[in-house]
Structure 1
Amino acid sequence: MTLLGELQAGESLESVTLPPVSRLDLIKYAGASGDYNPIHTIDEEAKKAGLPGVIAHGMWTMGNLAKLFTPYYEEGFIQDYSIRFKGMVFLNDRITLHAVVDDNKEEEMTFDVCAKNQKGKNVIEGHVTFCKRLTEAVTY
């Protein structure tokens, strides 16, 4: 596996495709997040709100973007995360997560990130700043 810090601008992390979104995923997320809005779990309530059906929590999708960086936890951490919601995620959607290096500096890297549904439509777009762990000894 390539070290994250060796990637240059324009290079991509390996994409991650999530399993199809299930109602159980959303029920578990509702419990973990405290967001019990019924448009995320109950079809009838979603339809009353003018939606075609249950939609995933936006933050569920956003949180999944962090999976792109999980293989690199020994190299650093996500320092900053900003996104825009571009579309809704429905039950059974297959979401693929992408990250492209925008810049690679000595202490941090920036990435353009997105999540696309199975139709190739971006449902999230944003930026991640990844802070590198310095490997040199620190003296005081």
Structure 2
Amino acid sequence: MSALFKPMRIFIVAVMIFVTANVAKAEDAVQVDSAKDAVLQAVHTWLQLVDREKYSESWEGASAYFKAAVTQEDWTHSLSAVRKPLGNTLMRKLTVSEFLTELPGAPDGNYLVVLYETVFQNKQHAVETVTFMQEADGHWRVSGYFIK
């Protein structure tokens, strides 16, 4: 009798390992999605500052890496020169959001790169790229912003 049950036990153990591995993968995916949602909320909040022309405040909420690269005065002046001619933001659609650990010209770390298709009052087709990085204190802050 035990010879009959041995293959069945092996099969059941294999199924349990498969199910456990897939449940762990699903839980990891949920954790990644939850983490991404939290960072995307921070990105959205930061973009609202930019949309409302609160450029100094957007700099204040930036990462130390960002602040070391550009002064508050230069950021405010540059962003105003780029954004004001575009007019109000009429529509912004998330197209890509990806966690990365390496970016060209930046230190290794945890990043979320987000791309939006954006329609401005005076520019119908734009792509905004917002990069957030996780700092040593665990908080995610902007480390890059580009409009194409």
| TM-score, normalised with respect to structure 2 | 0.29
Which structure has the higher relative contact order (CA within 8 Å, separation 6+)?
1
Q: Which has the higher helix share?
A: 2
Between Structure 1 and Structure 2, whose CA radius of gyration is higher? Answer: 2
